A = this chain, B = another copy of it.
């Protein structure tokens, strides 16, 4: 892991080079933050020549520890203008690690229009022309790439939304079956990839044999303890494998936290039709390729993903997650799993974030441009991103842009990014995270939703958010899925042991926490240089003025207190 690939799109060259000093002990989100500070001019245009894009696994990527192959896609976000680490599943993180590559850095911009594919393997890295892939949706693009480069390669790619440089476009990744629907969804990193002329990265790990371990025995013992913790947790051992992330929907609805009709309330009258239990029943009943308990990467014991079959038992979409059920479902007034799944599939094929697009569709509904609950129309609008249809492009630009163009004032967003499927008036700790995260509103930066606490009260929320924000960053840095966090809990020594087994490093749990805090501070420092200040760390005013009728609460944590979330 002392090598990286640097891709110069000005010269259309890809070269291996040593990892810079100071980066060796960083992975995932920590490496993204350091990279942004070291290499990206903070005030640059996100789609301009000076921005750069990094792909990197976490420190434990490629090992046989469960759920360890998450990939981080990072750079300056066109959506938020901030630093962005957009985390995804699938197999690219594993392959990168197995190839001994700490990161791929893409910089510059082709002098002529065109599309390229980056191919990395034990033979090195090279760019191949790929104009024939222009505007191909995810599945046909991935199929063509496998035909060209072999059935076993992993792929990161952009869909038509990325190529059209839409700000809700993400970077898609193939899962262990080769389905290209795992997505580094947030922040518009697909548009950045497109601005570099890069349609895809193909990872061929043929000839590799796992990542080296400094101490095999220690690693194996630590992995065993780690897996035991995961199995013992009611979440990672039971709820996630059985119901996936959708399992939380009923609880959020009960709490009045399920965004419904553009956050106008927090309880959806059709919640029962789209909750985790109903989804599981539907998958089991239809059979076929359906799977309520799917692993997106090899060796994952949590299996929070799923495969949703259609009436014939063929794949409708994979995965169907809580965020999508909330944002494309309840938030758009759509109470039909098939319709939500079809929209989700369209989002995957176009390569857009279902959270920002769900927010945008609901806003278009509030503007009267789409009827509330019209799932069929939503699917069509998303699919028309490929043809360049204007409404498709607008929706694919995300909720904030959609609201501004359509004159909608109720925008549930922070720093340009739409909130996830948790109303901050009803899960106030997550509201603190939305407001203060260096990446804009994003539940993956630290959600308090599964904590045992009074989510409607303002009390203790800043502290709760601070704790989860720091904790989740440990997972983002090591490449472990955040769903491992509840199982590991305070037993962070097991992560230290995994790192020692892998690299021989002597680290304490406090070292992990310190690095996580430093990661957040590095991100804030990049943002500060890019022009952000404490003035940007707030929720929109209307959450203070408009009560969520389901929870009976407004947002009432003073802005001045929010700043304490990052006072470590």
Q: Which residues of A does B touch, CB under 8 Å?
A: 42-45, 47-50, 78, 164-167, 191, 195, 369, 390-391, 393-394, 397, 401, 404-407, 409, 528-533, 535-536, 538, 540-542, 545, 559
Contacts and interface: CB of A to CB of B under 8 A. Distances in A.
14 contacts: A43-B535, A43-B538, A45-B540, A47-B409, A165-B409, A191-B407, A195-B409, A369-B390, A390-B391, A390-B394, A390-B405, A394-B394, A528-B533, A533-B533
Contacts of A530: 535
Question: Which of A48, A167, A369, A540 is packed against the most chain B CB atoms within 10 Å?
Answer: A48
A541 B541 CA distance: 33
Contact of A405 (B401, B407, B536): B401
Given A390-B391, A394-B390, A405-B393, A535 B47 contact: no
Contacts of A559: 43
A410 to B, nearest CB: 10
B405 A397 contact: yes
Contact of A48 (B48, B165, B397, B409): B409
B48 A540 contact: yes
Number of copies of this protein chain within its complex? 2
B531 A535 contact: yes
Nearest to A41: B541
Contacts of A401: 401, 404-405
A193 to B, nearest CB: 13
A541 B404 contact: no
Contacts of A535: 42-43, 529-531
A199 B535 CA distance: 31
Contacts of A406: 393
Nearest to A402: B405
A165 B545 CA distance: 20
A397 B393 contact: no
Contacts of A533: 528, 531, 533
Contacts of A404: 78, 167, 397, 401
Nearest to A368: B388
Question: Which of A50, A390, A540 is packed against the most chain B CB atoms within 10 Å?
Answer: A390
Contacts of A532: 531
Nearest to A194: B407
A43 B538 CA distance: 9
A418 to B, nearest CB: 15
A166 B535 CA distance: 24
- 8 tightest Cβ-Cβ pairs between the two chains A and B: A531-B535, A165-B407, A48-B541, A47-B409, A164-B407, A531-B536, A43-B535, A45-B541
A50 B559 CA distance: 15
Contacts of A45: 409, 540-542
Contacts of A165: 407, 409
A390 B42 CA distance: 34
Contact of A541 (B42, B50, B164, B191): B50
Contacts of A407: 164-166, 191, 393
A43 B78 CA distance: 21
A194 B369 CA distance: 20
Contacts of A50: 541
Contacts of A540: 45, 48
A76 to B, nearest CB: 12
